[in-house]
Each structure stands twice: as C-alpha cells, then as structure tokens.
Chain A
Amino acid sequence: MITRQFGSEVRWMLRRPRTLIGLFGLILVPIIISFGIWTAGSDEGGGGPPGLGAILQGNGMVVPIFTLFLSLNLLLPLVASIWAADGLAGEAQHGTLRGLLVAPVSRVRLLFVKLFGLTAMSLFAVTLMAVVGIIAGTAFLGTDGMMTLSGTTLSFAEGLLRIGLFILLVTFQMVAIGAVALAVSSTTEHPLVVQAATMTTIIVFQVLGQFSSLDWLHPFLITTGFPGLIDVMRDPIPLGQIGDSTLLAGCYLLIGTGLAAMRLITKDS
C-alpha cells in the first residue's frame, strides 16, 4: 500500500508543469557552466573564478560537483521549498488534502509520503544535474579522470564515486531544507508563503554567516554546513566537515519532520 502511495506521489510531482520547468532549468546550469568555462578557456588567462572554479579548465568531471555546489546555495533550496510547499499547503489550497485524509491516509503516513516524494525528487533532480554535468563537462572541457583540489588525479571510476557521494550529500541537505519547509507548509494554505519563508531563511542565514561578530550563531545555521561539503574534492577526503554538515542537516531534518508531524496531527482540515 505504501509503495503504491509513494509511486502515486512521485508520479503526481512529475506531472506538475512547474516541476518539469524546474528540472529543465536545473539541467541548464551545468551546460551553461561548461560552456562558460570552455569559452573562457579559449581566450586564456584573466584570473578564473575562485575555489573549485579554478580547476575546472580541462577537468570536465568536476563540472557536476561545481554545479551542485553552486546550486546548493539558492537553486536547490528553492526547488526543495517548491516541492514542500506544493506537498501540503498546495494540497490544502486545492482541497485535495481533505480527500487524502478521508481516504483515509493517516496523518503521519501522509507526512512520510510527502517526505518520500521530496527525497525521491531531490535525488532525481540532483542526479539529473550531475549526469548532465558529466556529459556537458566532458564534452566541453574534456577529461582525463578527475583532478582534485589536492592536485591528485582520480580515475574515471573514482571520480564517479566522488560524484555519487556528493549527490547523496547534496540531496540530504536538500531534504533537510525541504523537511523544514514541510513544517511551514503544514501551517498554511498558501504555497507561496512557504517558498518565501524558506528562501528568506536561507538567504538570511547566508547573510548572517558573513558577520564574524555573530560567529556564535554560525554553527546553528544549516547554510554554514554548505561550504564544507567541498571536501569531497580533496584527496584524501577529510570527513570532519562533511560529517558535521551532514549532522547539522540531520538535526534540521529531525526538527522539520517533528514539527510537521506535530502540526499535522493536531491540525483541523
């Protein structure tokens, strides 16, 4: 029964026009990045972008990681918030939430169906971006394996493993953000409120992260964990920051899911 509900949820999400538009937008990112680096490369010089961007030239396998890393700051949270917003607030707005509840779907299960949909779609979107990134990256920039930030060169297979790991890490961050957005989503009938609240929070967190006078606050912000994920591109991989970021996201996931569950159980529909 639950697999059938999961399936229905994902089919429903994939049928949404805005999901398709969103996914299309997402796959443009790695293509644009690859193309941009490629054209920048042909005229040579002119101090490349900072960080990971500096090693992109001729290193197409890094494109998926660079793309996801960039997108994690804004684009992927936006997508996660849209899905979370449609999941509960959107269903409430269309009156379909009532239909599900009298079917009946228990409220806890409904939350898990929504979380599953969010996770599955996040994984799908992130993987899609990565795959397009690999294709576009290798097509435009070519590849001999994958060069890490530590200056070592990984084989194609090792590179794929790194990309796979990064996909999982980024998906998890997305799901954590989505879970908190689901909690917001359970309190309203207006999906836009959910998106606005989530994106405002993410942006405010990033701004707060810029002020060193607020450094006591930084460990509480999920956005603080984003930059550390780049450690995937170091060799050997230092697990400290990656672990911290993932634990941080895990805390958000727990809080979001818990709050959403509490709200759903006590909610009148």
Chain B
Amino acid sequence: MNKRKVTLVAAATGVITGVAGLSLLAMPAGAGQPPSLPDVSAESLVQQVLTSKPGAFGGTVEVDNKLGLPAISQIPQLADGKHSARIWTDGNGKFRAALPNGQSEQTIVNDGKTTWSWNSQDNEVTKAEHKDEPKAEKPAQAESVDPATAAKQVVELTREFSEISVDGTARVANRAAYELVLTPKASEKTLIREVRIAVDSELKMPLRVAVLTNGTAEPAGTVGFSEINVGPQDPKLFEFTPPAQAKVTTPEAKESEQGRDRRPELGLEQALQGKDPQFFGTGWDTVVGARIPAEAMTQVPAEAQGLVDKFTKKVSGAWGSGQVFTTKVATILIADDGRVVAGAVPEQVLFDTIGHVK
C-alpha cells in the first residue's frame, strides 16, 4: 500500500514537474532583479559610450520588431516579428554574422581583406574584396543588427537634440547595465518618444536599444543581446572558404544580374540608401530625400504596384500627389514624379519638406 502510494506520488510529481517545466519554457525570459550599480551622470555615461572601444566579443542578438515594415527581400530578418542573429567580432574590424532565416542562413564574414556573404538558400557566395581601406566598414546589413554600433550612431547623431538621463539599471544578456534614455527635445517634430539604451556597466558598451514611440508603452523596436561573451573569439570564425559546390560572384556581377529581375522595392531601397541622398533639417526630425529615376518608377510591375498600394495611402497637396507609407517610427512619402522623402517624423513634416527635394 505504502509503496504504491509512494510510486503514485512520484509519478504525479513527474507530471507536475513536466507541466511546470513547460510553463517555465513558455515564459519569456524574465528581466530579473535590476542590479544595483553606483550612480553615474548621464553626461559622463554618454562620453564613455562614445569613447568606448568594444573589444572582441561574440553573442546572440535578438531583434524584436513591431515597426510595421513589410518584409524586404534582402533583409528578411528585419521584417516584423522576432528574429535573432549571431555576431562575432575580434574588435579590429574582423567580423562574422550569422543571420538565420527559417531553415536557411545568411552568413557574412569580414576576414579583414574580403567580405564574404553566403546565402544557403541560393548556395551562393558574394565576395567583395576591400579595395583601398585596410579596415573596411562593416557591411550595412550586419551593422543593423549589432546593437553596440547602432546605439553608438544613435547617440552620436542625436545627443545635441535630446534630453539625456540615466533611468535606473537593467540586466541584459546576464550583464549589469545602465539604462540611458534619450528623449527628443520638445522642439523636435518626431514620432519617437524616447530611445532607451542599456549600457554595460563595465565595458560601457551598449547592449540593447529600444525605441519607444508616442502613444505606446511597448517598444516599437528592440535590438539587444540575449547572450554575449566578451573576450577573444576563435580566429577561425573570421575566415571563410567558399563551399566547393557554391557559386561565387562579386557584388558588381550580382548587381547586374539583379538588374535583370529588378524588383519594385529595389528602386526605393537604392533611392533611400541613395547614391547621393539629400538631408533636410537636423536631429531627430532630419528628413532624407531623393529622386527615383523615372525609368525605375515606370518599371514597377502591376502586381507589385498592388502590393505597394496595399501598404500605402494616396495623398496629395500643394506639393503634388503621391503615396505615403507610415510605420510607427518612420514615414515615407513617394511623390508620383519620383521624389522621395523619409524620416522619423509625422507625414506633415514630409509634405512641408518634399518641395525642397531637387
């Protein structure tokens, strides 16, 4: 009788443990107790962030995106939802990023001389040899998922136009961090309410960036480490040998190939990344403007036009007419004549600015 009861209890305990385990797994990783750290002034923290030189590290970055962006074919990781990427850097410009996309993966390796970009989906490697500069810039795609770099840029660009404060502490990727908050000054006409940057208390390296917009409590977007190990990384990570079966191309070749099956968003992307973008204003409400070549505008296929229509709203005004595309943090206005303006601003600002686009 007793033995039977003991066994029953043991079995029931097993079931309960299993259920509890499931619930634990289902719970989002708790933020945990905020660490207690010595006070630091906002000004000095900003200084330290800007001057800090993140050394070698490797980690996993989680991107939680609620911006309302449609998926862009080349950076599916930036579409709405949660994505993760793994990045490694040796602190001296060598870099590796692994961007999983479902069951395939895009790997970007900068070995110091060459930037390799591998996509398992096409079994294709793009090889970009660095011409003059020995320490090449990180590729834009990789940069966009590295919170440390992204945060630094935000701070650099906006510090004069922001109220800066330190708002408590946080635990990010199991490291103690200060929460640096940049709030646009009242004079800034922006959609953004504040940007919160978690700065590592030891390394002064940004670990997480969260963008909050007006009218919502949840961040519209968060980029942050979920796991990080600081210190020298395996040098093998910064080497890349194209797989035997893969097709190796150069960026130039790839571009001309892409020209053949030009996709509608490509013209917009190029215009926005722009060969020579024009900037209007300063600070948070900076607007970037460009002109899409007329041929690109006319090349938009009908079905793609439908897609564009789905995400945009037709507008017109003294400046002309066009379509406006709104996300939580940014607005894009495309005039029918090919002028494009965009910024982290309400659409009225764009209407006022578009007239200046040359």
Direct contact of A and B (CB under 8 A): yes
A→B interface (CB under 8 Å): 48, 50-52, 54-55, 57-59, 108, 144, 147, 149-153, 216, 219-220, 227, 230-231, 234, 236, 238, 240, 244, 247-248, 250-259, 261-262, 265-266
Distance in Å: Cβ of A107 to nearest Cβ of chain B:
8
Distance in Å: Cβ of B71 to nearest Cβ of chain A:
14
Is A54 within 8 A of B22, CB to CB? no
Complex CA–CA separation, A250 to B22 (angstroms): 9
Is A258 within 8 A of B104, CB to CB? no
Decide if the interface of chain A is mainly helix, strand, loop or mixed.
Answer: helix
Residues of A contacting B38 with CB < 8 Å? none
Within 8 Å of chain A (Cβ to Cβ): is B107? yes
What are the nearest 4 A-B pairs in CB distance? Answer: A51-B103, A258-B14, A254-B18, A151-B118
**Given A144-B244, A153-B243, A220–B22 Cβ distance below 8 Å?**
yes
Within 8 Å of chain A (Cβ to Cβ): is B17? yes
Within 8 A of A (CB), among B21-53: 21-22, 25-26
Is B120 within 8 A of A254, CB to CB? no
B→A interface (CB under 8 Å): 4, 7-8, 10-19, 21-22, 25-26, 60, 86, 98, 100, 102-105, 107, 116, 118, 120-123, 125, 226-227, 234, 237, 240-246
Report which residue of B11, B12, B104 has the largest number of chain A beta carbons within 10 angstroms of its beta carbon.
Answer: B11
Distance in Å: Cβ of A244 to nearest Cβ of chain B:
6
A-B pairs with beta carbons under 8 Å apart, 9 shown: A51-B121, A55-B123, A57-B245, A151-B105, A248-B22, A255-B15, A256-B18, A257-B11, A257-B14
Distance in Å: Cβ of B95 to nearest Cβ of chain A:
14
Q: Which of A151, A231, A247 contacts B107 (CB 8 A)?
A: A151
Residues of B contacting A258 with CB < 8 Å? 11-18
Is A151 within 8 A of B245, CB to CB? no
Which residue of A has the minimal Cβ distance to B88? Answer: A236
Is B8 within 8 A of A266, CB to CB? yes
**Given A151-B243, A247-B25, A258-B11, A57–B123 Cβ distance below 8 Å?**
yes
Complex CA–CA separation, A149 to B227 (angstroms): 21
Report which residue of B17, B118, B121 has the largest number of chain A beta carbons within 10 angstroms of its beta carbon.
Answer: B121
Which residue of A has the minimal Cβ distance to B27? Answer: A219
Complex CA–CA separation, A219 to B103 (angstroms): 18
Report which residue of B8, B100, B226, B242 has the largest number of chain A beta carbons within 10 angstroms of its beta carbon.
Answer: B100
Complex CA–CA separation, A54 to B124 (angstroms): 10
Distance in Å: Cβ of A221 to nearest Cβ of chain B:
10
Is A54 within 8 A of B104, CB to CB? yes
Extra contacts, 13 of them, besides A147-B245, A219-B26, A257-B14 (Cβ < 8 A), are A50-B121, A55-B123, A57-B245, A144-B244, A153-B243, A220-B22, A244-B25, A254-B15, A254-B18, A258-B11, A259-B15, A261-B7, A262-B12
Report which residue of A149, A247, A257 has the largest number of chain B beta carbons within 10 angstroms of its beta carbon.
Answer: A149
Which residue of B has the minimal Cβ distance to A253? Answer: B18
Complex CA–CA separation, A259 to B14 (angstroms): 8
Complex CA–CA separation, A230 to B102 (angstroms): 9
Complex CA–CA separation, A240 to B241 (angstroms): 26
Residues of B contacting A59 with CB < 8 Å? 243, 245
Report which residue of A150, A216, A253, A265 has the largest number of chain B beta carbons within 10 angstroms of its beta carbon.
Answer: A150
Distance in Å: Cβ of A156 to nearest Cβ of chain B:
14
Complex CA–CA separation, A144 to B241 (angstroms): 14
Residues of A contacting B116 with CB < 8 Å? 151
Q: Which of A150, A219, A261 contacts B98 (CB 8 A)?
A: A150
Residues of B contacting A254 with CB < 8 Å? 14-15, 17-18, 21
Is B21 within 8 A of A147, CB to CB? no
**Given A51-B102, A51-B104, A149-B105, A261–B11 Cβ distance below 8 Å?**
yes
Is B19 within 8 A of A255, CB to CB? yes
Is B25 within 8 A of A255, CB to CB? no
Distance in Å: Cβ of B28 to nearest Cβ of chain A:
9
Q: Which of A153, A216, A251, A266 contacts B25 (CB 8 A)?
A: A251
Residues of A contacting B123 with CB < 8 Å? 48, 54-55, 57
Is A58 within 8 A of B244, CB to CB? yes
Distance in Å: Cβ of B52 to nearest Cβ of chain A:
27
**Given A151-B120, A153-B243, A258-B18, A265–B104 Cβ distance below 8 Å?**
no
**Given A219-B25, A262-B11, A54–B19 Cβ distance below 8 Å?**
no
Complex CA–CA separation, A240 to B234 (angstroms): 19
**Given A54-B104, A258-B13, A251–B120 Cβ distance below 8 Å?**
no
Distance in Å: Cβ of A235 to nearest Cβ of chain B:
8
Is A147 within 8 A of B244, CB to CB? yes
Is A153 within 8 A of B244, CB to CB? yes
Is B60 within 8 A of A238, CB to CB? yes
Q: Which of B8, B11, B13, B246 contacts A151 (CB 8 A)?
A: B246
Residues of A contacting B100 with CB < 8 Å? 149, 231, 234
Residues of A contacting B243 with CB < 8 Å? 55, 59, 147, 151-153
